[in-house]
A = this chain, B = another copy of it.
């Protein structure tokens, strides 16, 4: 068993942090470690919280954290949104509010670096979630800004996705067009003390009427983070969705698709690591890359043929 996995089993929080760093760096030992970590699976509930910058995701998560802790459950928070105070760099006020959580051993907070491009971020986030699960957290919350494609991909690796919207923000049109409505398992109308809540709710209901979800129908919850309103109902609905995933056929199908996607991603990454290394170690190939007029499509085709040809 990998040394870090062993220490994580003993709830060593420094090992947990180091394992995530190893994942971020795409270390050679990663697959081996992750296989051990997978065997320590404890079925934590993986929850994603997404929404535009300014929708109040961080404040909401802050309140939700406190509520979940009051039920005596432990929580890990993984912040993928670089503008989140959970990522450690935002406004002082936010950070002060977060400090209470940093002192609580039932809470682990970690931000993921965005350097791993090309889908690598969604991949390492999933691995980091699994490590938190293996450690024994009951809930793993992932915060991301739901705008780009990689951010969308991250939402595909969690069990339950909450989409945070605010009244009168004009978010819905953008979110709808970016294909983000479809990934929501729970709609969260935050700042629900502002005018325009009724209109936003009607828009969401209209959307649900048009798409006619098959299986799980995303509920619409109103929250006011500043007033700490709506957390019990939000938590209840998220749990109901988790039960749906494990107790119904449609839920099973969703999980199977997630698994397939994950295996595909892992293999792609591994093979790519190997191929890249073989190019980097080939002086002749590297010198071809120095020609500014070289046809990249031709190079790719011939190197690819070479690689595949090895197996024929």
B-binding residues in A (CB < 8 A): 31-32, 34-35, 38-39, 53, 82-83, 87, 89, 114, 117-119, 121-122, 145, 147-153, 173-174, 177-179, 252, 255-256, 259-260, 262-268, 270-272, 274-276, 279, 289-290, 292, 294-301, 303-304, 307-308, 310-311
State the 8 A-B residue pairs at the shortest beta-carbon distance, nearest first.
A148-B148, A310-B311, A266-B300, A118-B119, A149-B150, A35-B297, A147-B147, A270-B304
Apart from A256-B290, A267-B279, list 13 A-B contacts with CB within 8 A.
Answer: A35-B298, A38-B297, A82-B178, A117-B150, A118-B118, A252-B292, A263-B296, A267-B275, A267-B307, A268-B272, A270-B300, A271-B271, A310-B310
Asked, given contacts A147-B147, A296-B263, whether A118 binds B153 with beta carbons under 8 Å apart, the answer is yes
B119 lies within 8 A of A271 (CB): no
One of B35, B117, B262, B296 near A266 (C-beta < 8 A) = B296
On chain B, the residues within 8 Å of A152 by CB distance are: 117
Whether A89 pairs with B304 at a CB distance below 8 angstroms is no
- When chains A and B are docked, how far (Å) is the Cα of A112 from the Cα of B177? 13
Which of A32, A39, A118, A119 has most chain B Cβ within 10 Å? A118
Q: Say how far A54's CB is from chain B's closest CB, in angstroms.
A: 8
Among B53, B122, B289, B300, contact of A31 (Cβ-Cβ < 8 Å): B300
Across the interface, name the chain B residue whose C-beta is closest to A84: B177
Which residues of chain B have C-beta atoms less than 8 A from A279's C-beta?
Answer: 264, 267
Q: Across the interface, which residues of B come within 8 angstroms of A298, CB to CB?
A: 35, 38
How far, in angstroms, from A303 to B262 measured CA to CA in the complex?
13
Q: How far is the CA of A248 from the CA of B68 in the complex (A)?
A: 58
**Which of B148, B153, B262, B267 is in CB contact (< 8 Å) with A304?**
B267
> Given A82-B177, A147-B147, A289-B256 in contact, is the A38-B295 Cβ separation under 8 Å?
yes
Question: Across the two chains, which residue of chain B brings its CB closest to A126?
Answer: B296
CB distance B297 to A266 under 8 Å? yes
CB distance from A210 to the nearest CB of B (A): 16
Say how far A299's CB is from chain B's closest CB, in angstroms: 5
Known contacts A145-B147, A150-B149; is-contact A35 B301 (Cβ 8 Å) = yes
Contact yes or no, B179 A294, CB < 8 A: no
Q: Which chain B residues lie closer than 8 Å to A178 at the CB level? A: 82-83, 114
CB distance from A113 to the nearest CB of B (A): 10
Partner of A53, one of B38, B174, B260, B265: B174
Q: Is the CB–CB distance between B271 and A308 below 8 Å?
A: yes
Chain B residues positioned under 8 Å from A296 (CB to CB): 38, 259, 262-263, 266
Q: Which residues of B contact A264 (CB under 8 A)?
A: 276, 279
CA of A274 to CA of B53 in the docked complex: distance in angstroms? 39
Instruction: Determine the chain B residues whose CB is within 8 A of the CB of A147 once the complex forms.
Output: 53, 145, 147-148, 151
A289 close to B83 (CB less than 8 A): no
Q: Chain B residue with minimal CB distance to A39?
A: B295
